[in-house]
Structure 1
Amino acid sequence: MSASEVPDAFHHVVRPAAMPGSPPLVLLHGTGGDETELLPFALTLSPGSAVLAIRGRVSEQGKLRFFPRLADGVFDEDAVLRHAAQLARFITAARELYGLAPPIAVGYSNGANVAAAILQQHEAVFAGAVLLRAVNPLRAEPRASLRGTPILLIAGASDPIAPPGLSEDLAATLRNQGAETSFRTLTCGHALTDEDAESGREWLRA
């Protein structure tokens, strides 16, 4: 199988592992980002990991996303489910193509939200997740078991887009699916900080 033959292909970049045994990372950017946005973050998080960095293919006023929204914080759940399913299929096929072990999702903002949708609805796509500034984009009943899956959620105390309370609600949903969730609130807003990367690195080590 070639990259062009991967089902529901997304534009992406792949970085091979620099250290055997490091968990592969799937990078999912925020609104207005692209496949390069989280590459520096990933180098701090787990410098030896293979990386599959994916570009969202939904455009909102010229800004790339992984699924459309009706307004800030208002989601079209049918669209979320459809786009999450397409992304899940692509990640599964890309793993086979590139010979990747079960990966850790690293999602920021919209990328974290689409990762959360995949975690709720599709089993065995991710071995774990780091969800940065995430909220739950779904009211649909979760279908997937996350028994024993480690997930870290990091919120910003002054984040007006993904306030800590909504991130905690998502953590509870994932915990009810069996995930081993960790939740941290940092003294920051919606933008990522060096402390996000350090917190994620400590979590991965543990």
Structure 2
Amino acid sequence: METSKAFSMVQPSHNPSTSAQPGPMPPPPGIAATPRLSLRTPLALNDHPNRPHQFRAGGHPALLLLHGTGGSEGDLLPLAARVSPSSCRLAPRGTAALGGPPCFLRRQAVGLFDLRDLHRRTRELAGFVEWASGSYQMPAEKWVAIGYANGAAMAASLLLSGFPLAGAVLLRPIIPFRPETLPDLSRIPVLMIHAQKDPYSPEAQVAELSYNLQQMGALVQCEEVPPGHSIGPADTELIEEWLLHWFPGPV
């Protein structure tokens, strides 16, 4: 079956009226800076097709489902079925490990990732999605990522690395890194949902990530739900409304 061609990082536009400008940017006042990472190699890295995953054929929007730490590829399928029943779904398993449980990105501490590992894991997942896009005949740029916790950090890493997502839902996110070269995310919709008093998704981290994405041109909607790290009914309702607004029908 024909597969899509390899892609490279999206480079920032030089038109100041349409995109964010290249170079590092400071965090908003009162928010500590996170580590910077420069991705100087092509983003896609071959990830063999034997990575455990589940796929369901369907229509648009095509959903890329990224589970949290200790989860599996099936965790977000029920959520996807509720918020967009007819959508195509691709749910890969994270290949990093924290003492055993699967995850997408390896942490050194809460809110701090191993940047060398993050670079590699992001490239591997990008390569896997590229492979799956060709194998399942779904253009790579049509995927809307829905990531939870560690999976939300991976979805954010894909965005910050220039992976051509159509949009992203980040549930209980933190910022994975601050890129030295800013991708152009002009008009890419992003929904961020954090919970009150969530120690794993601190408000300052959410604010910094929202700030960074907006500086790159993304259309960010940031919502707060009642306390609790788990996904609840309020999340489901917000995601469903957001998908209907930005992806109302076949594209």
Residue in 1 aligned with 2:28? none
What is the SS of the residue equivalent to 1:50?
strand
Shift of 1:142: 4.5
Say which is worse superposed, 41-50 or 135-144, in terms of deviation: 135-144
Q: How does 1:47-196 map to 2 (within 5 A)?
A: 47-101=85-139, 102-124=142-164, 126-196=165-235
Shift of 1:11: 1.4
Instruction: Spell out, residue by residue over 1:148-178, the C-alpha distance to the aligned partner (whole angstroms, 9 max, x if none).
Output: 1000000001211102231121111111111
Whichever structure has more helix as a proportion of its residues is 1
What letter corresponds to residue 75 of structure 1 in structure 2? F
Q: In 2, are the aligned partners of 1:123 and 1:146 still within 8 Å (CA)?
A: no
Instruction: Spell out, residue by residue over 1:63-86, the C-alpha distance to the aligned partner (whole angstroms, 9 max, x if none).
Output: 111121112222111211111111
Shift of 1:2: 9.2
What is the SS of the residue equivalent to 1:191?
coil
* TM, length-normalised to structure 1: 0.92
What is the SS of the residue equivalent to 1:100?
coil
What letter corresponds to residue 226 of structure 2 in structure 1? T
Q: In 1, are the aligned partners of 2:2 and 2:134 still within 8 Å (CA)?
A: no
Residue in 2 aligned with 1:15? 56
What is the SS of the residue equivalent to 2:87?
coil
Residues in 2 aligned to 1:74 and 1:100: alpha-carbon distance in whole angstroms: 33
| 1:198 aligns to 2:237 (yes or no) | yes
| 1:30 aligns to 2:68 (yes or no) | yes
Residues in 2 aligned to 1:164 and 1:201: alpha-carbon distance in whole angstroms: 23
Structure 1, unaligned stretches of length 5 or more? none
Residues in 2 aligned to 1:122 and 1:90: alpha-carbon distance in whole angstroms: 15
What is the SS of the residue equivalent to 1:165?
helix
What letter corresponds to residue 153 of structure 2 in structure 1? N
Residues in 2 aligned to 1:112 and 1:42: alpha-carbon distance in whole angstroms: 15
4+ aligned runs moved over 4 Å, structure 1: none
Larger RCO (CA within 8 A; separation ≥ 6):
2
What letter corresponds to residue 48 of structure 1 in structure 2? S
Residues in 2 aligned to 1:96 and 1:112: alpha-carbon distance in whole angstroms: 24
Residues in 1 aligned to 2:182 and 2:205: alpha-carbon distance in whole angstroms: 20
Shift of 1:122: 2.3
What letter corresponds to residue 101 of structure 2 in structure 1? K
Q: In 2, are the aligned partners of 1:66 and 1:111 still within 8 Å (CA)?
A: yes
Instruction: Say what the alpha-carbon RMSD is for the aligned residues.
Output: 1.7
What letter corresponds to residue 191 of structure 1 in structure 2? S
Q: In 1, are the aligned partners of 2:161 and 2:179 still within 8 Å (CA)?
A: no
Higher Cα Rg: structure 1 or 2?
2
Equivalences, count = 200
Instruction: Spell out, residue by residue over 1:121-155, the C-alpha distance to the aligned partner (whole angstroms, 9 max, x if none).
Output: 1231x100000000111033253211110000000
Q: In 1, are the aligned partners of 2:96 and 2:121 still within 8 Å (CA)?
A: no
Structure 2, unaligned stretches of length 5 or more? 4-44, 246-251
